Amino acid sequence: MSTESSTATNAPETTTTAASRPADDLRQQIYNSPKERAIKYVLGACALVSVLTTLGIAAVLVIESIPFFQSVALGEFFGDTRWTPQFANKHFGIWALLSGTVLVTVISAVVALPVGLASAIYISEYATDWVRQILKPGLELLAGVPTVVYGYFALTFVTPLLQTVIPGLGVYNALSGGIVVGIMIIPMVASLSEDALQAVPDSLGEAAYALGATKFETVLSVNVPAAFSGIMASFILAVSRAIGETMIVTLAAGATPKMTLDPTQSIQTMTAFIVQVSKGDTPQGTIVYQSIFAVGLVLFLITLAMNILANRITRRYQEKY
């Protein structure tokens, strides 16, 4: 009796296994076909190109920076506060460029993060379908504007506007550059944050409504925390984009490397210095020419660290529904 019961119980499993074998064999034949293998190798090569490109950039920066650090000690590079490689009395203190970069980045973050998040919340939670179809492409269209156009916009519109509010403000200043960099990265924050909010299941919001929460309370207490990982990733990626911005700060912020936190002063960022030296007036092999690779290496490491941080935050706080 027990033998018959055991045979009856195992019969469906045997049938299922036997039925699944032809499907597995067919799938294996498809995967092993020459066409599929060719597609696999082409896609793998495309993925490998990005990795090799990144490694190549890192290798060039490291190799070209070695002669610079053979002439300039790390203590001077990270300990001095003056950056005057093109003067007779040369100083190579990276903090003068770092402070300008940080100043512009902080100003841009103050502009972009709240505005971008508020835009994402409105598009995701409040806007009607036809409004969303207009607003989101309109915001993303800002990302397609060349940065040199943003630079001249900062120089010819934002700076004169600020001069009416701040008497004595110079033509080149960190405030104007930072504001326009913030405007430039708003689409990145808004688009990525909106995607994260859209990924939150509707059931969470419906549960909050069932408990008597208002629309605003549901958004702030349920939807935004549930999308926290995606929102934080958009923040960090946008800030790393602001750190690496070149043309806006080159045209609007000036070319005066100084260690200051005054946004009304003319400053110079790391990217603006690289542009200044790369114009062709500096002979190759000189210490000034080699300095652009050292600055580029620092900028690369900062951006790499920001992207790694974004990935870790995304993995640490990602919610799976």
* Region of residue 285 (phi > 0: left; psi between -120 and 50: alpha; otherwise: beta): left
Count of domains observed in the chain: 2
Question: Does residue 142 surpass a pLDDT of 70?
Answer: yes
Out of 38, 53, 71, pick the residue that ends a domain.
71
Residue 289 burial class via C-beta count within 10 angstroms: exposed 0-12, middle 13-18, buried 19 and up = middle
Q: What is the crossing angle of helices 95-121 and 174-198, to 10°?
A: 40
What pLDDT, on the 0 to 100 scale, is given for residue 279?
Answer: 74
Question: Does residue 320 surpass a pLDDT of 80?
Answer: no
- Computed over every residue of the chain, the mean pLDDT equals 83
Residue 6 within a domain = no
Place of tokens 């709240």: 114
Q: What is the mean pLDDT of the segment spanning 29-56? A: 82
What pLDDT, on the 0 to 100 scale, is given for residue 317?
Answer: 66
> Band of the pLDDT at 27, cuts 50, 70, 90?
low
What pLDDT, on the 0 to 100 scale, is given for residue 103?
Answer: 93
CA distance 235 to 310: 8
Tens digits of residue pLDDT in 237-283: 899 889 988 889 988 988 888 888 889 889 989 998 888 887 767 77
Whether 81 and 39 share a structural domain: no
Question: Does residue 181 surpass a pLDDT of 50?
Answer: yes
Tens digits of residue pLDDT in 152-165: 999 999 999 999 99
With contact defined as beta carbons under 8 Å apart, do 254 and 266 qualify?
yes
Place of tokens 């300095």: 291
Residue 3 within a domain = no
Q: Which CATH number characterizes residue 205's domain?
A: 1.10.3720.10
Residue 301 within a domain = yes
Whether 64 and 159 share a structural domain: no
Whether 40 and 150 share a structural domain: no
Question: Does residue 5 surpass a pLDDT of 70?
Answer: no
Question: Does residue 3 surpass a pLDDT of 60?
Answer: no
What pLDDT, on the 0 to 100 scale, is given for residue 295?
Answer: 92
With contact defined as beta carbons under 8 Å apart, do 95 and 164 qualify?
no
Out of 71, 99, 119, pick the residue that ends a domain.
71
Q: What does the angle CA 174 – CA 176 – CA 178 come to, to the nearest 5 degrees?
A: 65
Q: What does the angle CA 136 – CA 142 – CA 145 come to, to the nearest 5 degrees?
A: 150
* Between residues 18 and 187, the one the model is more confident about: 187
Q: Which domain holds residue 108?
A: 74-317
Whether 140 and 192 share a structural domain: yes
What pLDDT, on the 0 to 100 scale, is given for residue 107?
Answer: 95
Whether 313 and 213 share a structural domain: yes
Question: Does residue 16 surpass a pLDDT of 50?
Answer: no
What pLDDT, on the 0 to 100 scale, is given for residue 311?
Answer: 80
Q: What does the angle CA 129 – CA 135 – CA 139 come to, to the nearest 5 degrees?
A: 150
Share of the chain above pLDDT 70, in %: 88
Secondary structure, 3-state, 122-141: HHHHHCCHHHHHHHHHHHHH
Tens digits of residue pLDDT in 105-130: 999 999 999 999 999 999 888 888 88
CA distance 106 to 177: 11
Tens digits of residue pLDDT in 39-49: 888 888 888 99
* Between residues 7 and 26, the one the model is more confident about: 26
The listed range with the strongest mean pLDDT (106-115, 223-232, 260-269, 286-295) is 106-115
> Band of the pLDDT at 14, cuts 50, 70, 90?
very low
